[in-house]
Structure 1
């Protein structure tokens, strides 16, 4: 957006707003325990709104400013040249609504900010429903995961690490950001247990999570992980505080004046971006589209729905790091359209002897079985 309006220079920042934003950041990080990445997304929304309004004081924001901003978002395009999705617009408005709700109740701003404008930071009901209706992401099948895993090379240390990371996510359903922050001491190889220590493992909301290897869905994954742990201990001579999956070591070659790969370092990856690149390459090598690591949870949960008792499923839910079992059921256990149809068609298949009986006979049989 231009920094000129009506021939006059528009401010690039507002000191009063900056003070409020700094206090709001503290409230998000330390009051609501928001992840820094989430706070960064909030910041982007606020900066976008400030740029649109010319950095006017938050106390001077009116309903007209909000309505105009919403209209501008409907015509704004992303980096790919496409109009912003409804979900992106909904998220942006939600971030701003929370900011102004906070301002409207803060002792320093309560008499200065019009709290009535918060309701304007919303989409229409229909648009809101459409924004929440996300496109179904199909998870990989166990067969696809096994095919990919078998095809991954394992001659060098780097190849061994890459294959072990892929297997580890299948085995534990761990989040990729937690994966790259694990230390060797976090894994008990004898008991096949991981303690995701929130003091250094980047778990969601910094929860401590006890995770047991789940080898039944794909035994090959457990074999590969156990081989990797043995390789680390016996060949790589890893120390307890060294990363479980060290990043690639690159050094400058004075002869070629270029950086070259020279095995593994003793350092953690800074983030999980490299993990996704490794997984993307692994799937591409066997002719499959990319499945992000988080989708592996869906694969394992769907396997569990078919093969576990309620008691065992509860254990799996805790193993993943969920406090409530419905958190596991709802987002990760949702069936695809084909799975839904298949399950419905199989209803009654376990009672073939009752398929062709009358309603009266069926009711009588149900009553009889209920008395057993």
Structure 2
């Protein structure tokens, strides 16, 4: 395989540095952009970017149409293709402003990296996302074993996701100092907690089945009183492995949490698999809780508070992302309105 030219490596490095320092992009996004640029170089045969021509846009599209997901071996999803094209288009727009490229790359050249209208519609089409019902979640939770401290940690983790709807990245980095059991308050402080877009989030434990809260509170008490954890230690610490009698076994807890959410996802998936249900991930709980909140909130103000609890500044985000109205449900609602006498079904929406 041809190696990257020194010039290309330098330009990619400058672009990624620009995105990080000037545009505030996070490391995860930068990794995705770097991967897209790598695919782009493969598509053009690792030619020097200074040889740019607008035909590279079509070559890149053809390359993506034949590429395979390295993990599954399947063709790239429409969303992946759309994102890769957008990432490279942004790079081409940036190149057009760089010294040594202004005579070779124009802003209009970047338009050749646009996805087709059909491809873009497919990539951005809303899809039904499966999620557990409140009953399914509680069934999986009750079936979780709690015979030792490692199992009690896992069960408390499940309870916490149902109490907060917090994102897995934030939960893996949550510290004991962020937990106020007396007020039932969790402060997701972006200085310590990996919240989305480094946003501070105030979360109060949600009014779900009290068994969840009891489980979580017992876990926090155990960490402080038995494990002697302090404020700067993880709420859900990773397990330490040691060698005992020539075998590697779990010997206790580390003071820090997991580096990413992979392990926490696996714990929740196993909990559902144990009761022969679909292996939901913690993120699916956000939809479960959004719909539950929609069913119990009696005012716009209450639902606004529920939405803020999930980390959404705007209620529309919660509604559009987690409780959309399907085509069939839309029809049912409109037809039901027409069956009542004019004005008979009208209700005033409470504002407080």
User: Quick check: TM above 0.5?
Assistant: yes
Report how far residue 340 of structure 1 moved. Answer: 5.3
8 Å CA contact retained: 1:34, 1:205: no
SS at match of 2:241: strand
> Within 1, Cα distance between the matches of 2:109 and 2:286?
40
Tell me, yes or no, if structure 1 residue 244 matches structure 2 residue 235. Answer: yes
Deviations 1:139-191 (A, max 9, x none): 11000111011111112111111111111111111110110101101111111
Deviations 1:261-297 (A, max 9, x none): 1232222211110001101110000111111111111
Report how far residue 218 of structure 1 moved. Answer: 2.9
> Within 2, Cα distance between the matches of 1:346 and 1:240?
54
CA RMSD of aligned residues (A): 2.3
1:99-248 equivalences under 5 Å are 99-106=91-98, 109-214=101-206, 216-248=207-239
8 Å CA contact retained: 1:314, 1:325: yes
Query: 2:253 corresponds to which residue?
Result: 264
Tell me, yes or no, if structure 1 residue 314 matches structure 2 residue 304. Answer: yes
Unmatched segments (≥5 aa) in structure 1:
4-9, 349-353
Shift in CA distance, 313/205, structure 1 to aligned 2, threshold 3 Å = same
Tell me, yes or no, if structure 1 residue 277 matches structure 2 residue 263. Answer: no
Query: 1:299 corresponds to which residue?
Result: 288
> Within 1, Cα distance between the matches of 2:210 and 2:149?
22
SS at match of 1:211: strand
Query: 1:325 corresponds to which residue?
Result: 315
Report how far residue 366 of structure 1 moved. Answer: 8.8
Report how far residue 63 of structure 1 moved. Answer: 1.7
8 Å CA contact retained: 1:154, 1:160: yes
Report how far residue 213 of structure 1 moved. Answer: 0.9
SS at match of 1:180: helix
Higher Cα Rg, which structure: 1
8 Å CA contact retained: 1:182, 1:196: yes
SS at match of 1:249: strand
Report how far residue 120 of structure 1 moved. Answer: 1.1
Deviations 1:8-44 (A, max 9, x none): xx4x012122222112212222322222111101111
Unmatched segments (≥5 aa) in structure 2:
none
> Within 2, Cα distance between the matches of 1:340 and 1:299?
20
> Within 2, Cα distance between the matches of 1:58 and 1:82?
30
Tell me, yes or no, if structure 1 residue 16 matches structure 2 residue 7. Answer: yes
Tell me, yes or no, if structure 1 residue 30 matches structure 2 residue 21. Answer: yes
8 Å CA contact retained: 1:138, 1:336: no
Shift in CA distance, 345/226, structure 1 to aligned 2, threshold 3 Å = farther
Tell me, yes or no, if structure 1 residue 93 matches structure 2 residue 85. Answer: yes
Shift in CA distance, 230/55, structure 1 to aligned 2, threshold 3 Å = same
Shift in CA distance, 127/147, structure 1 to aligned 2, threshold 3 Å = same
